[in-house]
A and B are shown apart, each in its own frame.
Chain A
Amino acid sequence: MLAFLIQRVFQAIFVMLVVALIAFSLFHYVGDPVLNMVGQEATEADRAELRTRLGLDQPIAIQFFQFIANAAQFEFGISYRSARPVTDLIVERLPATLELAIISAIFAVVMGIVLGIYTALNRGNWLSNFIMTASLIGVSLPTFLIGVLLIYVFAVELGWLPAFGRGETVRLGDWWTTGLLTTSGLRSLILPAITLGLFQLTLIMRLVRAEMLEVLRADYIKFARARGLSKRVVNLRHALKNTLIPVITIIGLQLGTIIAFAIITETVFQWPGVGALFITAVRFVDIPVMAAYLMMIALVFVVINLIVDLLYYAVDPRLRVQGGAK
Chain B
Amino acid sequence: MSSTPSSDSRDTPSVPALSVRELRVEFPTRHGTLVALDDVSFDIAPGEILGVVGESGAGKSMTGNAVIQLLEPPGRIAGGEVHLGSQRIDDLDEDAFVPLRGRHIGMIFQDPLTSLNPLFSVGEQLIETIRAHLPMNHKQARGRALELLREVGIPAPENRLDAYPHQFSGGMRQRVVIALALAAEPELVIADEPTTALDVSVQAQILALLKRLCAERGTAVMLVTHDMGVIAETADRVAVMYAGRLIEIGPVEAVIREPQHPYTRGLMASIPGIETSRERLYQIEGAMPRLAAIPSGCAFNPRCPHATERCRRERPDLLPAGTSRAACWLHDPIDPVIPVSEEVAADGH
What residues make up the interface of A, taking CB atoms closer than 8 Å to B?
218-231, 233, 237-238, 241-242, 245, 315-318, 321, 323-326
A-B contact count (CB 8 A): 96
Residues of B within 8 A of A233 (CB): 128, 132
Q: Assess whether A228 is in contact with B103, with CB atoms less than 8 Å apart.
A: yes
| Contact sample, A vs B, 21 pairs, CB 8 Å cutoff | A218-B114, A219-B109, A219-B115, A222-B70, A223-B115, A225-B70, A226-B68, A226-B107, A226-B109, A227-B106, A230-B132, A231-B98, A237-B128, A241-B120, A242-B117, A242-B118, A317-B166, A321-B167, A324-B166, A324-B167, A325-B168
Q: Which partner residue on chain B sits nearest A228 by CB separation? A: B102
CA distance A242 to B133 in the complex (A): 24
Q: Assess whether A222 is in contact with B129, with CB atoms less than 8 Å apart.
A: no
What residues make up the interface of B, taking CB atoms closer than 8 Å to A?
68, 70, 94, 98-103, 106-107, 109, 111, 114-121, 125, 128-129, 132-133, 160, 163-164, 166-169, 172, 177, 180-181, 183-184
Q: Which of A222, A228, A245, A325 contacts B119 (CB 8 A)?
A: A245
Residues of A within 8 A of B117 (CB): 220-221, 224, 238, 241-242
* Chain A nearest CB, measured from B63 CB (Å): 15
Q: Which partner residue on chain B sits nearest A219 by CB separation? A: B114
Q: Assess whether B160 is in contact with A223, with CB atoms less than 8 Å apart.
A: no
Q: Assess whether B119 is in contact with A317, with CB atoms less than 8 Å apart.
A: yes
Residues of B within 8 A of A326 (CB): 169
Residues of A within 8 A of B99 (CB): 228
Q: Assess whether B100 is in contact with A231, with CB atoms less than 8 Å apart.
A: no
Q: Assess whether B163 is in contact with A324, with CB atoms less than 8 Å apart.
A: yes
Residues of B within 8 A of A237 (CB): 128
Q: Which of B98, B166, B183 contacts A230 (CB 8 A)?
A: B98
Residues of B within 8 A of A323 (CB): 167
Q: A231-B98, A325-B169 are in contact. Are A223 and B177 (CB under 8 A)?
A: yes
* Chain B nearest CB, measured from A231 CB (Å): 7
Residues of A within 8 A of B111 (CB): 219
Q: Which of A223, A228, A238 contacts B98 (CB 8 A)?
A: A228
Q: Which partner residue on chain A sits nearest B110 by CB separation? A: A219
Residues of B within 8 A of A242 (CB): 117-119
Q: Which of B109, B120, B132, B180 contacts A222 (CB 8 A)?
A: B109
Q: A219-B109, A220-B117, A318-B118 are in contact. Are A228 and B167 (CB under 8 A)?
A: no
Q: Give the one of A229, A231, A238, A245 with max B CB within 10 A.
A: A229
Q: Which partner residue on chain A sits nearest B156 by CB separation? A: A325
CA distance A269 to B184 in the complex (A): 61
- Given A220-B116, A223-B116, 6 other A-B residues pairs in contact with their CB atoms under 8 A: A220-B118, A221-B117, A224-B117, A227-B101, A241-B120, A318-B118
Q: Assess whether A220 is in contact with B169, with CB atoms less than 8 Å apart.
A: no
CA distance A225 to B105 in the complex (A): 11
* Chain A nearest CB, measured from B109 CB (Å): 6
Q: Which partner residue on chain A sits nearest B183 by CB separation? A: A227
* Chain B nearest CB, measured from A318 CB (Å): 5
Q: Which partner residue on chain B sits nearest A245 by CB separation? A: B119
CA distance A229 to B116 in the complex (A): 13
Q: Assess whether A324 is in contact with B118, with CB atoms less than 8 Å apart.
A: no
Q: Assess whether B120 is in contact with A238, with CB atoms less than 8 Å apart.
A: yes
Q: Assess whether A226 is in contact with B119, with CB atoms less than 8 Å apart.
A: no
Residues of B within 8 A of A325 (CB): 160, 163, 167-169, 172
The majority secondary structure among interface residues of chain A is helix
Q: Which partner residue on chain A sits nearest B104 by CB separation? A: A228
Q: Assess whether B118 is in contact with A226, with CB atoms less than 8 Å apart.
A: no
Q: Which partner residue on chain A sits nearest B168 by CB separation? A: A325
* Chain A nearest CB, measured from B121 CB (Å): 7
Q: Assess whether B132 is in contact with A229, with CB atoms less than 8 Å apart.
A: yes
Q: Which partner residue on chain A sits nearest B69 by CB separation? A: A225
CA distance A220 to B180 in the complex (A): 12
CA distance A316 to B100 in the complex (A): 32
CA distance A315 to B164 in the complex (A): 13
Q: Which of B119, B183, B184 contacts A315 (CB 8 A)?
A: B119
Q: Which partner residue on chain B sits nearest A223 by CB separation? A: B115
CA distance A219 to B116 in the complex (A): 8
Residues of B within 8 A of A227 (CB): 101-102, 106-107, 125, 129, 132, 180-181, 183
CA distance A197 to B116 in the complex (A): 36
CA distance A310 to B101 in the complex (A): 38
CA distance A317 to B68 in the complex (A): 31
CA distance A321 to B160 in the complex (A): 13
CA distance A34 to B192 in the complex (A): 79
Q: Which of B70, B133, B167 contacts A226 (CB 8 A)?
A: B70
Q: Which of A229, A238, A318 contacts B166 (CB 8 A)?
A: A318
* Chain A nearest CB, measured from B26 CB (Å): 20
Q: Which partner residue on chain A sits nearest B68 by CB separation? A: A226
CA distance A316 to B164 in the complex (A): 10
Residues of B within 8 A of A229 (CB): 102, 128-129, 132
Q: A219-B111, A219-B115, A324-B167 are in contact. Are A226 and B160 (CB under 8 A)?
A: no
Q: Assess whether A228 is in contact with B163, with CB atoms less than 8 Å apart.
A: no
CA distance A326 to B183 in the complex (A): 24
Q: Which partner residue on chain A sits nearest B159 by CB separation? A: A325
CA distance A221 to B119 in the complex (A): 12
CA distance A148 to B109 in the complex (A): 55
Q: Give the one of A223, A229, A238, A326 with max B CB within 10 A.
A: A223
Q: Assess whether A321 is in contact with B114, with CB atoms less than 8 Å apart.
A: no
Q: Which partner residue on chain A sits nearest B113 by CB separation? A: A219
* Chain A nearest CB, measured from B52 CB (Å): 17
Q: Assess whether B101 is in contact with A241, with CB atoms less than 8 Å apart.
A: no
